[in-house]
């Protein structure tokens, strides 16, 4: 029987939020909770909407910064990240956390500092490279500074973790090129829960489409294939190394 773990997910971002990493963490945490693990999400003091049911969300102190959900760097984030380190340590000690699971580069840095203070093992969830992303925001000027910082983050952040989860074979290869041992890297592609997209009654979907067209003047067509009872949306089968994951 597998041991049930107390896991603290480190998220240097608003939560919940309807984009990228927060959405992935929401589904991943829910899937792990279903397996019997105890999930704690440690995050910023704000998000979009209510906290997901069944997940324990812990937030940093609210200093009155803007509550606008922004993707990418902001001047407030370094302060929020320092507060996040304190929040993670507090949750680790109070909830007797077994492992830290940090997401993205900021989460990796926060998780590493918390690891030093709490002596808990750190798993780093790698979904991208900073060399591709950081310069594209045009936040750090001149640009060569952003490129230099991104390359250093690509080198140092993955090394801070005891174990690395890569969402694709290509990213795992990149990490190996940074001289990180392949034995420290596990490739776990992101998985997609297709349940929200299931349409069991294709005729009802067509009716909704006709109604939308009559209301707005146009609407995307919905194809149900040759069988009118078949679902209008089907999962794609095949290689999944670029899909979304619900595993830690």
The string of DSSP letters for the chain reads -PPP-EEEEE--S-SS-SSHHHHHHHHHHHHHHHTT-EEEEEE-S--SSSPPTT-EEEE-----------SS--TTHHHHHHHHHHHHHHHHHHHT--EEEEEHHHHHHHHHHHHHHH---EEEEE---HHHHGGGG--SSSHHHHHHHHHHHHHHGGGGSSEEEESSHHHHHHHHHTT--GGGEEE--B----GGG--S-HHHHHHHHHHHHHHHS--------SSTTS-SS-PPPS--TTSB----
pTM: 0.75
Domain-by-domain residue ranges, the chain?
Answer: 6-187, 199-232
* pLDDT tens-digit map of 84-131: 999 999 999 999 999 999 999 999 999 999 999 999 999 999 999 999
Superfamily grouping for domain 6-187: Glycogen Phosphorylase B; (3.40.50.2000)
pLDDT number for residue 210: 53
170 pLDDT above the threshold of 90: yes
pLDDT number for residue 122: 98
* Residue 5 binned pLDDT confidence (cut-offs 50, 70, 90): very high
62 pLDDT above the threshold of 80: yes
pLDDT number for residue 67: 83
* pLDDT tens-digit map of 209-227: 555 455 445 444 434 344 4
């Amino acid at each position: 029987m597998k041991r049930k773990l107390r896991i603290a997910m480190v998220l240097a971002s608003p939560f919940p939020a309807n984009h990228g990493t927060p959405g992935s963490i929401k589904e991943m945490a829910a899937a792990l909770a279903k397996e019997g693990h105890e999930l704690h999400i440690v995050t910023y003091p704000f998000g979009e909407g209510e906290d997901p049911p069944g997940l324990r969300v812990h937030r940093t102190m609210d200093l009155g910064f803007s509550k606008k959900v922004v993707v990418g760097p902001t001047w407030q984030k370094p302060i929020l990240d320092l507060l996040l380190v304190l929040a993670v340590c507090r949750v680790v000690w109070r909830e007797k956390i077994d492992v830290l699971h940090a997401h993205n580069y900021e989460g990796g840095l926060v998780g590493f500092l918390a690891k030093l203070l709490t002596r808990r093992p750190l798993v780093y969830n790698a979904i991208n490279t900073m060399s591709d992303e950081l310069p594209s925001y045009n936040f750090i000027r001149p640009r060569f500074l952003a490129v230099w910082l991104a390359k250093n983050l690509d080198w140092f952040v993955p090394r801070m973790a005891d174990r690395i989860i890569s969402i694709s074979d290509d990213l795992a290869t990149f990490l190996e090129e940074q001289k990180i041992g392949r034995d420290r890297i596990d490739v776990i592609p992101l998985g997609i829960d297709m349940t929200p997209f299931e349409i069991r009654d294709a005729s009802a979907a067509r009716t909704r489409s006709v109604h939308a067209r009559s209301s707005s003047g146009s609407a995307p067509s919905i194809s149900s294939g040759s069988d009118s009872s078949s679902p209008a949306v089907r999962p794609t089968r095949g290689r999944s190394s670029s899909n979304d994951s619900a595993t830690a």
